[in-house]
Chains A and B, each alone.
Chain A
Amino acid sequence: MYLGKVIGTVWATQKHHALVGEKLQLVQPLDATGTSVGKPLVAIDAIGAGAGETVMYVTSSEASVPIKTRKKLKLVPTDATIVGIVDSISIKTQFETVDSETR
């Protein structure tokens, strides 16, 4: 699962029948500090995110799972799906050293 920011919307009337009714969003991947990394991608929006929102998305074959479950289909051609809207992120700036003896 990755973090990203919704930066736009894609309209496509003609698409695979499994994707009819699904919203397509442009997502700019982010790192944990909210900085843009890499190139934007297009993702199916399974939860109704809006432009400017920080989201979580899944990629590869797991991306079809939310749509498969909801529509009870076996084949859904998507390799990126938004599965959550992020409210807040809390990260530690410095990681604690792990003592090897306590492992």
Chain B
Amino acid sequence: MTLGKVIGTIWATRKDEGLVGMKLQIVRPVGLDLQAKDGFLVAVDSVGAGVGEVVLIATGSSARMTEITKNKPVDAVIMAIVDKLDVAD
């Protein structure tokens, strides 16, 4: 899983019928210092994350391993909201 920060939300009225009802968040990857890195991805939110929160994202076929994304055209899912990071020296 990768660490990321939710920086926005996407609304799309016209989309694949499998995506109806899903919350789509824009996530920017972050490093261990929680500083933003280049790039972004769009992920389905399975835990109710909000803008500004640090989250964990599962990508690839693992993203379809939640009840709401099973057999849906999804390749990134937010599956945890990070409270704290502890990095050893």
Q: How far is the CA of A51 from the CA of B85 in the complex (A)?
A: 13
Tell me the nearest residue of chain A to B69, going by C-beta. Answer: A77
Contact with B along A1-13 (1 / 0, CB 8 A): 0000011111111
Q: Which residues of B contact A26 (CB under 8 A)?
A: 32, 85, 87
Question: Are A78 and B58 in touch, CB under 8 angstroms?
Answer: yes
Tell me the nearest residue of chain A to B32, going by C-beta. Answer: A40
Question: Given A7-B88, A42-B1, A79-B60, A64 and B81 touching (CB < 8 A)?
Answer: no
Q: Which residues of B contact A41 (CB under 8 A)?
A: 1-2
Question: Are A15 and B65 in touch, CB under 8 angstroms?
Answer: no
Cβ-neighbour of A10 out of B48, B56, B66, B67 (below 8 A): B56
Tell me how many residues of B have a C-beta within 8 Å of chain A: 31
Question: Are B2 and A42 in touch, CB under 8 angstroms?
Answer: yes
Question: Given A8-B85, A19-B79, A76 and B65 touching (CB < 8 A)?
Answer: yes
Q: How many A-B residue pairs have CB under 8 A?
A: 99
Q: Which residues of A contact B79 (CB under 8 A)?
A: 15-16, 19, 77-78
Check A24 for interface membership: any CB of B closer than 8 A.
yes
Check A55 for interface membership: any CB of B closer than 8 A.
no
Q: A11-B83, A13-B83, A15-B80 are in contact. List 9 more A-B contacts (CB 8 A).
A: A12-B81, A12-B83, A18-B66, A24-B1, A24-B56, A75-B70, A76-B65, A77-B62, A79-B1
Please name 18 pairs of A and B residues whose Cβ atoms are closer than 8 Å in the assembled complex, sorted by A: A8-B88, A12-B80, A14-B47, A15-B47, A15-B81, A16-B66, A24-B1, A26-B87, A43-B1, A51-B88, A52-B88, A63-B62, A77-B46, A77-B58, A77-B65, A77-B66, A77-B79, A80-B1
- 10 A-B pairs closest in CB distance: A15-B80, A79-B62, A8-B87, A12-B80, A42-B1, A11-B84, A77-B65, A61-B61, A77-B79, A16-B79
